[in-house]
Each structure stands twice: as structure tokens, then as C-alpha cells.
């Protein structure tokens, strides 16, 4: 009886087990399109403004993988990556395509070691989990110090010719300027002005020199140094302005005057990028008040399309006491005049000095994210991207860390010299050739992730 009861129990259990095994298991529902978030969905608005000529506001989006559900660490890593991307963008603005594309690995290695040195301030505008909660995405803004990046490129890496960070200041005066009534010599004002300008600009990482020092630097070229060592300020400025010898009416007795002036301009271009002329228009005293009027002009001599880019009349006045020292009075007046120049003129000079001829397209880093592609498909895509490599499209790396996630997420890092939209077209053509269905990706100017989502076919 007991054996019969046991047999029936086993039989019933077997029937239930068979039924459970034979019944169709419910398939996990695919993630809805609106629930699969990417960096394109992480959008915020910055509060930063470019309130200084040294500052460039750069907006960046970045992401980091969330390990062990530690969103705090992922957020920090995303912020670090965003900082590197912001500084790299500043570097790209300051370098020609030829230099950047040839040295981008060296640039990345150098700047990634001390990114914070070049970032004045940062803010996170938007943050959230993305890629099916596997990554943490942030939208950030950085105030990047343009001048510090420029100095690093020039002095530490040596990618830019020294002349690009050099400027020459020439102090001149209005014809027949009479300074006898104020008790100063022209050289007193010239020295005070030169000291004020050079001190400030040198502290900003530039090399500011007067016309005499500029010519003295030609000593390594004895032939040209002998030829140009005694040129006057008038001749120097005539060269800078590109005047023909005949038009300038300077030293008509010079043999081969045309060649003299054109060669002189070529030499000056090798020494500096910008020439600043400070013209003393008037220095007068009325009672105990002294007034100084200056005309300041800055010219870019580095390109054929250069010329005067900043021009301003500066006026400063200072009242002297009965016991005021004349030297201290002049120093204070020059300081006041320079503070006036710093309002508009000096920022224009700084901006021009940090603007490099950057024609051509740079190889910008992008991450191509492929989601939903499984099995051999990700590696087939990776190999196809690698085979498509050209001078303006470089394969960098492949990451399949989340290849077994649901949905699978695989990525390929590339560098491309065109726009994000152009790159997405290039990759879509690759996927079309592989006969892989996909949804058209979202692209945006400041988005360096391009997501290609596999199109699911309903049977």
C-alpha cells in the first residue's frame, strides 16, 4: 500500500515537472526606446560666462561605468574624463591640424597628468544613469585657462614657434612733443611705460620685448644683425606696416631699399607675432593735476591677412600733493594709464596672441557605442571599422566589457577629422555593408558618443 502511494506521488511530481519544462518560458521584454537613455539625453544649461580674455568656457558630456553600484565613484571618473576632453578641445583650438594630428598621443599623455592645472572652475549641469543604468552620464561646463594651455604647448611641449608667444613694444611720441613744462624727459616716460607693459605681459606667460632687444636677438645672424642693428624706430615701424621704401620716405640713400625693408619684415616676423605701438600724444600739467594722453595700436604681423586689430586713445590724470615725488607721480600716472588699457586694449592683445592659424581638421576622439549587437557581430563590426581606417579616420581601441549585458553594449574608440554627423554617416555605411539593421543615431556638436542601436525584427 505504501509502495503504491509512493508510486502515485512520484508519478504526479513527474507530470508537474514535465509540464513545467515543456511550457514556454516568458521572454524578457525588450527595453523600450524611451527607457534606453544615452548621453544625448543628458542635457543641461551652463551658468558660466567668458568673463576674462584668459578664460574659455567649454561644454562637455562624458560617462563612466558604474562598478558595484558605486555612482559616486562613477560620477567622479566621468568628471575627470570630461576635464580631459575640455582641455583637449582647448589644445585643438590652439594648434594647427598638422601638428595636432601628428602629436595627439603625446598631447594626451602630457595634459592628462595635470588636467586641474588648466581648469579654473567646473560645474555639472545635468547627471543621470544611462545605458540601461550601467553608466553614469554628466553634462558639464569648464572654465579652461587658455593662456596656461598655450604656455604649456609653447614652452613645455615646444609645438609652437617661440615667436607665436612674443610681442614687440615700441614707444613713440607725437612730433614736436614738448615735455619741458612737466619736467620729464621722453626716456623717463618710455622706460616707465615699457616696464609696466613688459611686467604684466611677461607674468601672463608671454615674451614682451622692446624694439632694441628684438634687434639684439639677431646677433646669432651676424650678417643681418650688422645690416639692421642701427635702424630707427621709424624704419622699424615702416617695416611692420609693410610700407614700401619710397612711400615711407626713409633713408633714401639705402642701397636696394625695397629688399632692405622686405627682408627686415621677414626677420621681425621670425621674432614676434604682434607689435604694439604706444604713441605719447601729450603730457601736460594744469595746477596740481597732470594728464597723460596715449594712442595705442596693436598689429598682427604673422600673416599676410594681419594688420591693426586694436586701436585706442587712453587718457589718465592724477593730482599731485605739494610734497609728491616727481618719479612717484610719473609711476602712478603710467599705472593709471595702463589700468585703462587693461579694460579693452590688453584683452584684445591677449586674445590675438592666443589665436593660432588653425586651418585644417583635427583628429577628434569619438566613442562608437553599439548596443543590442550580440554573438560575433560586435567583433565583425570592430574589424570592419579597423579596415576602414584612413588618414582622417583612425581606429584606437575596442571595449567589450559589457558584451554580455542585456542588452549587450560594445564600443569602439576612433579619431575622426570631420563632424560627428559625417562620422555617423561613415559608420552607418559600414553597418549597411554588413547588412546589420540599426536605428539612426543621435548626433550633436558637443556629443562625442555616437550610439548605434540594433533594430529588432519582430517575427
Residue 261: name the closest of 294, 227, 293 by CA.
227
CA–CA separation, 205 vs 202, rounded Å? 5
Determine the 3-state secondary structure of 223 from DSSP: helix
46, 125 Cβ separation under 8 angstroms: yes
| Grid cell for residue 290 | 597732470
273, 201 Cβ separation under 8 angstroms: no
- Per-residue burial over 161-200, b = 16 or more CB atoms within 10 Å of its CB, e = otherwise: eebbbbbbbbbbbeeeeebeebebeeebbbebbbebbbee
Q: What does the pLDDT read at residue 249? A: 53
Q: What does the pLDDT read at residue 319? A: 85
- Could you tell me the strand order of the sheet in which 207-210 lies? 207-210, 166-173, 274-286, 289-300, 307-319
Q: What does the pLDDT read at residue 279? A: 94
First to last CA, the chain: 53
Domain architecture of the chain: domains with CATH: 28-160 (3.30.1660.40), 163-353 (3.30.160), 363-459 (no CATH)
**Residue found by looking up cell 558605486 in the block:** 70
- Helices first, then strands: H and E counts in the chain: 13, 13
CA–CA separation, 133 vs 69, rounded Å? 9
369, 409 Cβ separation under 8 angstroms: yes
DSSP state of 42: -
Chain centre to alpha carbon of residue 380: 36
Determine the 3-state secondary structure of 216 from DSSP: helix
341, 319 Cβ separation under 8 angstroms: no
208: β partners: 167
What is the chain's pLDDT, residue by residue, as a tens digit (459 residues)?
555 555 555 555 555 555 555 445 445 455 555 567 889 899 889 999 988 778 899 999 999 999 999 999 999 999 999 999 999 999 998 887 878 888 899 999 999 988 999 999 999 999 999 988 999 999 999 999 988 898 888 778 888 767 777 899 999 998 878 787 777 888 888 999 999 999 988 887 788 999 888 888 887 788 888 888 888 888 888 888 765 655 555 555 566 777 777 788 888 888 888 999 999 999 888 877 889 999 999 999 886 655 788 999 999 998 877 677 777 888 889 999 999 999 889 988 888 887 655 556 889 999 999 999 999 999 999 999 999 999 899 999 999 988 888 889 999 999 999 889 999 999 999 999 999 999 989 887 778 999 999 987 654
CA–CA separation, 231 vs 236, rounded Å? 7
CA–CA separation, 39 vs 140, rounded Å? 12
300, 273 Cβ separation under 8 angstroms: yes
Determine the 3-state secondary structure of 172 from DSSP: strand
Q: What does the pLDDT read at residue 146? A: 87
CA–CA separation, 390 vs 87, rounded Å? 26
- pTM, two decimals, is 0.64
Length of the chain: 459
CA–CA separation, 375 vs 282, rounded Å? 81
CA–CA separation, 386 vs 393, rounded Å? 9
Q: What does the pLDDT read at residue 353? A: 81
334, 189 Cβ separation under 8 angstroms: yes
> Which value, in Å, is the radius of gyration of the alpha carbons in the chain?
33
Residue 301: name the closest of 235, 358, 352 by CA.
352
| Grid cell for residue 129 | 544613469
Q: What does the pLDDT read at residue 459? A: 45
CA–CA separation, 177 vs 241, rounded Å? 23
Q: What does the pLDDT read at residue 19? A: 54
Which secondary structure element, helix H or strand E, spans residue 92, and what is its range?
Answer: helix 71-94
Q: What does the pLDDT read at residue 25? A: 47
CA–CA separation, 28 vs 282, rounded Å? 85
Q: What does the pLDDT read at residue 245? A: 53
Q: What does the pLDDT read at residue 213? A: 87
Q: What does the pLDDT read at residue 391? A: 87
Amino acid at each position: 500500500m505504501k509502495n503504491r502511494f509512493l508510486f502515485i506521488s512520484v508519478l504526479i511530481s513527474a507530470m508537474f515537472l514535465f509540464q513545467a519544462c515543456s511550457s514556454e518560458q516568458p521572454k524578457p521584454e525588450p527595453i523600450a526606446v524611451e527607457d534606453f537613455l544615452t548621453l544625448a539625453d543628458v542635457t543641461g544649461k551652463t551658468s558660466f560666462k567668458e568673463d576674462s580674455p584668459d578664460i574659455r568656457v567649454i561644454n562637455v558630456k562624458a560617462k563612466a561605468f558604474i562598478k558595484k553600484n558605486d555612482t559616486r565613484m562613477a560620477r567622479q571618473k566621468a568628471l575627470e574624463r570630461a576635464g580631459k576632453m575640455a582641455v583637449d578641445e582647448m589644445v585643438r583650438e590652439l594648434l594647427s591640424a598638422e601638428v595636432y594630428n601628428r602629436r595627439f598621443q603625446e598631447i594626451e599623455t602630457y595634459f592628462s597628468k595635470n588636467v586641474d592645472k588648466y581648469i579654473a572652475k567646473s560645474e555639472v549641469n545635468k547627471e543621470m544613469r544611462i545605458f540601461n543604468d550601467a553608466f553614469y552620464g554628466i553634462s558639464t561646463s569648464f572654465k579652461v585657462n587658455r593662456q596656461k594651455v598655450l604656455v604649456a604647448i609653447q614652452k613645455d611641449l615646444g609645438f609652437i614657434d617661440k615667436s607665436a608667444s612674443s610681442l614687440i613694444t615700441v614707444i613713440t611720441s607725437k612730433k614736436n612733443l614738448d615735455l619741458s613744462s612737466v619736467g620729464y624727459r621722453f626716456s623717463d616716460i618710455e622706460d616707465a611705460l615699457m616696464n609696466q607693459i613688459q611686467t604684466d605681459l611677461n607674468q601672463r606667460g608671454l615674451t614682451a620685448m622692446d624694439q632694441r632687444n628684438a634687434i639684439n636677438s639677431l646677433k646669432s645672424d651676424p650678417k643681418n644683425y650688422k645690416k639692421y642693428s642701427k635702424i630707427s624706430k621709424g624704419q622699424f615701424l615702416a617695416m611692420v606696416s609693410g610700407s614700401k621704401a619710397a612711400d615711407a620716405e626713409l633713408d633714401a640713400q639705402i642701397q636696394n631699399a625695397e629688399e632692405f625693408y622686405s627682408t627686415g619684415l621677414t626677420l621681425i616676423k621670425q621674432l614676434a607675432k604682434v607689435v604694439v605701438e604706444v604713441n605719447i600724444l601729450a603730457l601736460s600739467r594744469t595746477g596740481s593735476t597732470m594728464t597723460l594722453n596715449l594712442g595705442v595700436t596693436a598689429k598682427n604681423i604673422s600673416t599676410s591677412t594681419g594688420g591693426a586689430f586694436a586701436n585706442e586713445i587712453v587718457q589718465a590724470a592724477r593730482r599731485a600733493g605739494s610734497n609728491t615725488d616727481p618719479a612717484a607721480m610719473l609711476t602712478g600716472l603710467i599705472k593709471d594709464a595702463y589700468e585703462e588699457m587693461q579694460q579693452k586694449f590688453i584683452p584684445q592683445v591677449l586674445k590675438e596672441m592666443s589665436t593660432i592659424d588653425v586651418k585644417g581638421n583635427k583628429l577628434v576622439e569619438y566613442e562608437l557605442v553599439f548596443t543590442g549587437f550580440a554573438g560575433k557581430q560586435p567583433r565583425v563590426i570592430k574589424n570592419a571599422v579597423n579596415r576602414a581606417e584612413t588618414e582622417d579616420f583612425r581606429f584606437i581601441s575596442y571595449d567589450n566589457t559589457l558584451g554580455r549585458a542585456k542588452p549587450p553594449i560594445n564600443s569602439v574608440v576612433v579619431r575622426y577629422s570631420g563632424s560627428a554627423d559625417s562620422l555617423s554617416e561613415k559608420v552607418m555605411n559600414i553597418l549597411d555593408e554588413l547588412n546589420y539593421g540599426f536605428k539612426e543615431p543621435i548626433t550633436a556638436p558637443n556629443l562625442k558618443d555616437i550610439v548605434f542601436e540594433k533594430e529588432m525584427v519582430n517575427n
